[in-house]
A and B are shown apart, each in its own frame.
Chain A
Amino acid sequence: MTYAHRAFIVLWKDVLTERRSKAALNALLFFSLLLLFIFQFTLGGDRERLTAALPGLLWLGFVLSGLVGLGRTFLLERENDCWDGLLLTPGDKSAIYLGKVAGNLLLMLIVEVILLTLFALFFNVDVGRALPALGLVLPLGTIGFAAVGTLFAAMTAHVRAREVLFPVLLLPVVVPVLLGSVRATDAALAGEPLSAVAQWLQLLVAADVIYVVAGLLTFDALLEG
């Protein structure tokens, strides 16, 4: 079995369990809808203000649902005592990490698409024009977020105070990704060409590469339990 195949099996297992239980997606959908309510209530009905804050609000929504979604990456394995199963997998263990990152990326992208649609509907924002640019910016930002998130989730799965510790560890580390993503999303929504934020996109690519490589190299040490 090749490396890619093993990573794919981990991804497929998670997609199957999610498709049958719909535990994460249902909760996250509902959560995104609630976030939208909260944004509306806290910022008031002023459309000008909402539009100005839109890129930040979008990423706030992605980050908050990401914290909820990513934090439970390894909970299934933990609660059902399948951790030993992961440990016994033959070959390079980092394939498991890659599969989990891919699964989280998929989950987050689905949530992001839904949040974006909800924003467009409820706040009456025209995102159609910005879609091609957002199609590049959102995955670039999300890869970095999912890569660190998956790594830290493997760690906090074993810690009792995981609900506190996970965001406390993750949020400071993803600040560069967040700054870059918000700025690039801002440009995309304003209809500026992406070349105007080229340095931010480069930063996002660099962050994605650094985080994924760091995760691949260190995941083994976390898997031991």
Chain B
Amino acid sequence: MSRILGWLAALGLAAGLVMAFGVAPREATQGNVQRIMYLHVPTVLVAYLAFVVVLVASIAYLWRRDPAADRLAHASAEVGVLFTGLTIAAGAIWGKPTWGTWWTWDARLTSVAILFVMYLGYLLLRGMIEDRERGARYAAVVGIVAALDVPLVHFSVYWWRTLHQPPSLLKPGPASMPDGILAALLVNVVSFALLYAYFVAKRVTILRREGEVLA
């Protein structure tokens, strides 16, 4: 199962690379730098997906106390933090030539940064508790509180300041980009979602086996 996911993700990412560098047109004002978007946007969307999975799995764990739900939350949080980190790094690399700065305290940069440290804390908590069952319960509580915090962070930081360009995909109305760019972006979004699923499946297996060895 995870092997199939892995191959699908690899194929998708290869196709995504071809689309991003070959098929998608060169953006008129930003030039080739704009192609970082094919990494930046998919990773952030998948990171959000990952944290939604953490929330759902955390609620499921507190409700049913099924270790499988805990493993899913753990794996999804790790991959989510990884993808958030990639988003921030790719954004910084794009920001330097475009905005003239690696980092700025703009609303969306700030809220992603807060998300990043919030889930880093979640992983830190997991690493510090040896008792698996207790670690699972505590992490579930943090996973729920952190997810509930996301809308609050979003609004507060948005009112605080904003400079980022408006979202290109998740907004009402038709997408505001040429078909070539949109197609390349969508292929990459799907491929990164497959990569996420592959990483999570692998990580869940490792966590299960670790549990079996320690039990």
List A residues at the B interface (Cβ < 8 Å): 148, 151-152, 155, 158-161, 165, 168-169, 172-173, 175-177, 179-180, 183, 199-200, 203, 206-207, 210-211, 214, 218, 221-222, 224-225
CB distance from B63 to the nearest CB of A (A): 10
Q: B156 and A179: CB pair below 8 A?
A: yes
The answer for the CA separation of A214 and B157 in the assembled complex, in Å, is: 22
Q: B141 and A172: CB pair below 8 A?
A: no
Complex interface: chain B residues within 8 A of A200 (CB):
156, 159
Q: B152 and A222: CB pair below 8 A?
A: no
Interface secondary structure of B, over-half rule: helix
Q: A169 and B142: CB pair below 8 A?
A: yes
The chain B residue with its CB closest to the CB of A180 is B156
The chain B residue with its CB closest to the CB of A175 is B114
The chain A residue with its CB closest to the CB of B139 is A155
Given contacts A159-B129, A172-B117, contact A210 B141 (CB under 8 A): no
Q: Please give 5 more A-B residue pairs, beta carbons under 8 A apart, in addition to A176-B156, A218-B145.
A: A155-B141, A175-B156, A176-B153, A210-B149, A211-B148
- Cβ-based interface call for B54 (8 A): no
Given contacts A172-B117, A173-B145, A221-B62, contact A203 B156 (CB under 8 A): yes
The chain B residue with its CB closest to the CB of A160 is B128
The residue among B62, B138, B152 with the most chain A CB atoms within 10 A of its own CB is B152
Given contacts A179-B157, A218-B141, A222-B141, contact A173 B149 (CB under 8 A): yes
- Cβ-based interface call for B209 (8 A): no
The answer for the CA separation of A172 and B123 in the assembled complex, in Å, is: 14
- Cβ-based interface call for B146 (8 A): yes
Complex interface: chain A residues within 8 A of B145 (CB):
148, 151, 173, 211, 214, 218
In the assembled complex, 21 residue pairs joining A and B whose CB atoms fall closer than 8 Å, in A order, are A155-B142, A165-B124, A165-B125, A165-B128, A168-B121, A168-B124, A169-B125, A172-B117, A175-B157, A176-B149, A176-B152, A179-B159, A179-B160, A183-B160, A203-B152, A207-B152, A210-B152, A214-B144, A218-B140, A218-B144, A224-B134
- Cβ-based interface call for B137 (8 A): yes
The chain A residue with its CB closest to the CB of B146 is A173
- Cβ-based interface call for B118 (8 A): yes
Q: B128 and A158: CB pair below 8 A?
A: no
Interface size grouping (class) on chain B: 20 to 34
The answer for the CA separation of A137 and B179 in the assembled complex, in Å, is: 50
Complex interface: chain A residues within 8 A of B124 (CB):
165, 168-169
The answer for the CA separation of A70 and B64 in the assembled complex, in Å, is: 30
Q: B137 and A221: CB pair below 8 A?
A: yes
Complex interface: chain A residues within 8 A of B157 (CB):
175-176, 179
The answer for the CA separation of A159 and B129 in the assembled complex, in Å, is: 7
Given contacts A151-B141, A179-B157, A199-B159, contact A218 B62 (CB under 8 A): yes
Which 7 A-B pairs give the minimum distances between C-beta atoms? Answer: A176-B156, A176-B152, A172-B118, A179-B156, A218-B141, A172-B117, A169-B121
Q: A221 and B156: CB pair below 8 A?
A: no
